[in-house]
Amino acid sequence: MDYMWIRGSTQYYFDSKRSSLSLNSFVLGALCYAEIGTVIPLSGAELAYMKEGIGSVHARTGDVLAFVFSWANTFIILPSTAAILTLTFSTYFLSGIMDNCGPPVELVKMTAIFAIVVLANVNAFSATTANRLNIVFTLSKVVTILVIVTAGLVRIGQGHTENLKHSFHGTTNKPLRIALAFYSGLWAYSGWGSLTTVTEELKNPKKNLWLSIVVALPIVIVLYVLTNISYFTVMTKSALLSSDAVAMTWGEVVLGSVARVLPVLIALSALGSANGLTYTSARYCMVSACYGLVCFLNEFDSFDCFLKTILAIIYCIPSDIEGLISYFSFVSWLFCGLTFVATLWCKFTKRDVLRLIKVPITLVIFIILICIYLVIAPVISYPNIGFLIASIILLLSLIVYYIFIFRQVQPKFMKKLNGSIENFFNLTKSDINIET
């Protein structure tokens, strides 16, 4: 939900039917993840679903797609998400402690990079400390949302509803032009796959996984909608779009002098999401290594985590949150679509597995079609260099897979390095057990 701190629900407004479709996509996507998460109760989320789900129909295809996802996760998905969240943190934190002129762009970038480095080190040295930080960050997020929602309801009671009237007037309903609106809106709604990243660390995952997702769905929907309604009790659409820190603009009107506390709380909220992302990203490294899908250092994931940190820092340099969301979403929705395909196939290849939640086949097909739209439409309507770079990275992964995984080519110095690391740290390769 952290993107709503920057631009409300989305930078591009669209009609109510399309808004409902965005919400329905969120619900269907989460339910599909809940189903396949109980069918394949393994950590690694999409990576495991590519390997075990699509691989249940064709083993080599599942293996290739799992590697491509691991590659995309390292070079695109995780570092771009970390950059977006830390830039959000930096923008709000500095807005809260500086004067009304706002922080300079260079300082925003430097603070975001500093946050990335700190979080990487905290998670590398102590998982316990990272978890305790998450508790603090979660509390700040809950307090912030409750303040905004409560104040918004009070303002509605006072009659501040003029911006809610005709709120969709003048918006477009052309299918191709609203593509990036879905990216921004669904970014704010996303998060349904986070828990499936650490499935094996849950107690009784076949029950608690789907239960957590199903309980979280209505809570997130209600809070998200009420938060945005609260924004519109203060700002018009044009005012919202012109603000770089929506909640800050809202707070100056509603809270007055107390408003300075609000952006700091929001900053902690965004930093908490970045911390949680850093914590779960190591699980992708671990699962990739267990499947033998890491080109080098199969039993040691520190290099992979280091690479993600460096890339996240690089992605912070342009300081283009809108562009990063498009770059991230293009690839993310490609693999979401493949996960939904795996969900569909598992209904036939794993029909005897106990399912505590079952999404009808017609709805799974519907969400697959939405994913196809979300991947293709933005490229047609808003072509940019980010889509080209993402496509090149994905195609490059196929070449790397063929050379280093399929052909098993490995330079001699890498073999020696692997052996040295294994001996020094007394490492052994973990096994994947889908029956756990």
> In the prediction, which pLDDT does 22 show?
59
> In the prediction, which pLDDT does 142 show?
84
Q: Which domain holds residue 125?
A: 4-425
The answer as to whether 431 is a domain residue is no
The answer as to whether 228 is a domain residue is yes
Distance (Å, rounded) from C-alpha 292 to C-alpha 401? 11
Rounded-to-10 torsion of CA 83, 87, 89, 95: 180
Distance (Å, rounded) from C-alpha 254 to C-alpha 258? 9
Low-confidence ranges of the chain (pLDDT < 50): 1-19, 297-300, 436
> In the prediction, which pLDDT does 248 show?
79
- Residues with Cβ < 8 Å from 375, sequence gap 6 or more? 330, 333, 334, 337
Residues in the chain: 436
Burial group, residue 264, by CB count within 10 angstroms (0-12, 13-18, 19+): middle
> In the prediction, which pLDDT does 313 show?
96
Q: Which pair of tokens denotes residue 238? A: 């044009």
The answer as to whether 210 is a domain residue is yes
> In the prediction, which pLDDT does 279 show?
81
Q: Residue 330's domain is classified under what CATH number?
A: 1.20.1740.10
Q: What angle do CA 92, 229, 17 make, to 5 degrees?
A: 115
Q: List, for residues 340-359, the tens digit of each pLDDT value.
A: 999 999 999 999 888 888 99
Distance (Å, rounded) from C-alpha 77 to C-alpha 100? 34
- Answer yes or no: are the C-beta atoms of 246 and 240 closer than 8 Å: yes
- Answer yes or no: are the C-beta atoms of 264 and 92 closer than 8 Å: yes
Determine how many CB atoms are found less than 10 A away from the CB of residue 391. Answer: 14
| Per-state percent for the chain, helix, strand, coil, to nearest 5 | 75, 0, 25
Domains identified in the chain, total number = 1
The beta-strand segments (E) located in 10-73 are none
Distance (Å, rounded) from C-alpha 46 to C-alpha 199? 12
